[in-house]
Amino acid sequence: MMVRCLRTAAVLSILFASTRAEAIPAFARKYGVSCSTCHSAWPILNQVGQNFRDNGYQFGLGKDDPVTLSNAYVPLAIRATGAYQYTKVTNQLVDDGAGGSKNVDVKTGGVPTPGADFLLAGTVARNLSYLVVAAGFTDDEPAAIESAWARVSNIAGSSWLNVRVGKFELDLPASSHRGVSLLADYAVYGATNAGIGFNLGENQTGVEIDGHNANSGTRYSVSIVSPNEDPGSSGAWSSPTFYGHLQQAFDLSNTVLPWARVGVFGAQGQLPTVFETSGGEPVPGTGTKLKTFKRAGADLTAIFGYPATPFLVNATYVYGKDDEALGGDPGNSFQGGFVEVNWVPISELEYDATPWLVFARYDAVKYKTGPGDVSGVTVGVRRYLALGPRASMALHVEFHQDKTKGASEDPDGNPLDVTTQAAMVGLDFAF
Amino acid sequence: MTQTRFLAIVAAVVLPAAALATPPDAEAAKRGSKAYGRYCISCHGTSGDGRGPSADWIDPKPRILTSGTFKFRSTPSGELPTDDDLLRTITNGLNHTYMPTWRALTELERKDLVQYVKTLSPRFASEPQGKPVAIPPRPSFTKELTAKGKDVWNKVQCASCHGDGGKGDGGSASTLRDDWGNPIIPRDFTSGPLKVGDEPEDLYRAFQTGLNGTPMPSFAESITPDESWALVAYVRSLRKD
């Protein structure tokens, strides 16, 4: 039952994903370029944006160092989304008023207080870059530092050696913080067969070494981090988790399949299972008897059609297994992934050249044993009302539905599936 | 009779040029217009007139693509650039400007952009594109060659614009304007690469071709290839960084 509850919590967290970060109009202002320089459709990075990011927020043409800028330039961006949201969650167990319980569907709707992301990002000097993201600022989600890191780029003059330290997002097949969906995270990132808190999509604290070739067609990233929700073990590096990702792109330069990229990635971490206690409570940092959890996967990204109006497909597969000593059914594991499509159908000779984005995603997670299997669909449209060199605003319409196997139970304790439906329409704004 | 003769002369002069022109590939240009709308329009404008919404805020100003006048070419002064010249600028960007590198775009897009850029100026439909100037093999940059280069520097009066020390502070520097009347600052040779690149060949090429649309002339007629390499050696000796 405990595992079921933990999985339910993980699944429900895919709803109303917290405000998304890392679309940074301050860069457009710094370089005088349009958002579409770096984004296929904001917030999705294109290869130019990926290359700019891989270079430590630098184009490398003598305009990166802030000493070359007007004193009036402030490397600050803000993003907020105001939206009407509706949610329906089935088979929730509630009191029946007669001492028992019953199952009901819970429906909510309204305009929640918009959260906001404040992003400071840029370079302090050539090859020295940083990002600080403060997010939240609502009653339900207090302000917190979502991300904060500093990076030394092009060590020894080589783009193959860059080091980042702080709290950052792992180099994932699809960014959890730059996804276009405002309703649902990637379900497989948070999947666990032991109920541990580790989530690939959450920002992690640690060190990353990464590198890339001139156009970021070949790139790698290796990290050692203390994972999110880390209960803390004793040792030189608390609960070390290693992550690596290698990608290779192919410039096919035809009008049907002009570009494709394949990648492999994996993570292996350790969490403690035995703690010293104080008043019966575990003392963080005293954990011992570390047990292992693993994730491994592959990703394929391809552009169909003309790259300036891409039909962008990302398919990602993940296999995961948590040691049974961490919880859950003996011998259990999971596999899953997602297929995501982002389509920019139009590019015109107008200043808002790419006014539409159509997106869709299918998520799936399947456990070897027990409940928690997830299947979900997300579809949406963004109409860019402004997409210029200073700021951007989009009308965002999205629908999401997922079904989680055995995530609830009836009054007799029999497992019930939970279906969640969510819809939103609102204005997504970045300056 | 006079009119007929005039038309014949015009035809004799213009038609061969038009016949040798290499107009843009229509299909590639049509595709390239989508890439242009996405990546280029905020600076170069919808028509290529260099008046995109970002243009007022950046310096140097975006290239006015409708003019068919390009600074960075491998072709003789006054001539149109080759496709490879345009592709090189798009791919590498330009140092010390707001023209970023687009090397991460697919080769298809970059080549399509070249064809679209060619549609923005009528010159490409009526004139042949130039032939690249020959660049002899790079000599060793000896002290003797550098000393000879200083003589060339004095001979062609580089210091009048670029200053005695090459810092871009010559006597006439403050008066210089480009073809569109914008103030233009001579290159400071003491720090950083040229806009177009940091190889000695980039300097050599600039001496031979000049920079169309700017006061920087071509010296192809006034210095020999050996002198040109000597000047390259001297100018590179001015670098302090």
B207 & B111 share domain = no
Q: What pLDDT, on a 0 to 100 scale, did the predictor assign at position B6?
A: 60
Q: Tell me, what amino acid is at B14?
A: V
Q: Are B81 and B67 in contact (CB under 8 A)?
A: no
Cβ contacts of residue A79 below 8 Å, gap of 6+? A19, A20, A21, A23, A116, A117, A119, A428, A429, A430, A431
B134 domain-assigned = no
Q: Are A136 and A143 in contact (CB under 8 A)?
A: yes
B105 & B194 share domain = no
A104 touches chain B (CB under 8 A): no
B32 & B89 share domain = yes
Q: What pLDDT, on a 0 to 100 scale, did the predictor assign at position B5?
A: 65
B138 domain-assigned = no
- The structural domains of chain A, ordered by start, are 2-430 (2.40.160.10)
CA distance B39 to A47: 12
Tell me how crowded residue A273 is: count the other CB atoms within 10 A of its CB: 16
Q: What pLDDT, on a 0 to 100 scale, did the predictor assign at position B164?
A: 94
Cβ contacts of residue A293 below 8 Å, gap of 6+? A192, A194, A196, A198, A268, A269, A270, A271, A320, A321, A322, A323, A326
Check residue A194 and report its DSSP letter: S
B89 domain-assigned = yes
Instruction: Give per-residue pLDDT as tens, B8-17.
Output: 555 555 555 6
**Average pLDDT of the segment spanning B95-101:** 92
Helices (H), A270-310: none
B41 domain-assigned = yes
- Low pLDDT (below 50) residues in chain A: 1-21
**Residue A359 dihedral angles phi and psi, to the nearest 5°:** -135, 155
Q: What pLDDT, on a 0 to 100 scale, did the predictor assign at position B13?
A: 53
B28 domain-assigned = yes
A348 touches chain B (CB under 8 A): yes
Residue A17: name the closest of A115, A133, A107, A125 by CA: A115
**Residue B223 dihedral angles phi and psi, to the nearest 5°:** -135, 150
B181 & B111 share domain = no
Q: What is the CATH number of the domain that holds B168?
A: 1.10.760.10
B153 & B82 share domain = no
Q: Decide if A351 and B104 are in contact by the 8 Å CB cutoff.
A: no
B189 & B229 share domain = yes
B3 domain-assigned = no
B135 domain-assigned = no
CA of A168 vs chain B CAs: smallest distance (Å): 24
B221 & B185 share domain = yes
CA of A51 vs chain B CAs: smallest distance (Å): 7
**Average pLDDT of the segment spanning B128-147:** 96
B224 & B172 share domain = yes
Q: What pLDDT, on a 0 to 100 scale, did the predictor assign at position A15?
A: 46
pLDDT higher than 80, residue B99: yes
Tell me how crowded residue A364 is: count the other CB atoms within 10 A of its CB: 19
* Chain A residues with beta carbon closer than 8 angstroms to that of B120: none
Helices (H), A18-151: 25-31, 47-54
B121 & B154 share domain = no
> Which helix (H) or strand (E) is B146 found in, with range?
helix B143-155
Domain count, chain B: 2
> Strand pairing partners for B15?
none
Q: Are B9 and B16 in contact (CB under 8 A)?
A: no
Written as six digits, the tokens of B228 are: 């040109």
A301 touches chain B (CB under 8 A): no
Cα-based distances in Å from A388 to A115, A281, B225: 23, 54, 47
B66 touches chain A (CB under 8 A): no
B34 & B120 share domain = yes
* Chain B residues with beta carbon closer than 8 angstroms to that of A258: 106, 108-109
CA distance B199 to B95: 13
Written as six digits, the tokens of A275 are: 């703690």
**Residue A176 dihedral angles phi and psi, to the nearest 5°:** -75, -20
B13 domain-assigned = no
Residue A267: name the closest of A358, A202, A328 by CA: A202
* Chain B residues with beta carbon closer than 8 angstroms to that of A348: 37
Q: Which domain holds residue B75?
A: 22-126
Instruction: Give per-residue pLDDT as tens, B207-217.
Output: 999 999 999 99
B119 & B208 share domain = no
- The interface predicted TM-score of the complex, written ipTM, equals 0.88
Examine the fold and report which residue of B99, B126, B153 is the final residue of a domain before the chain moves on.
Answer: B126
B85 & B35 share domain = yes
Instruction: Give per-residue pLDDT as tens, B186-224.
Output: 999 998 889 989 999 999 999 999 999 999 999 999 999
B182 touches chain A (CB under 8 A): no
CA of A251 vs chain B CAs: smallest distance (Å): 6
pTM here is 0.90
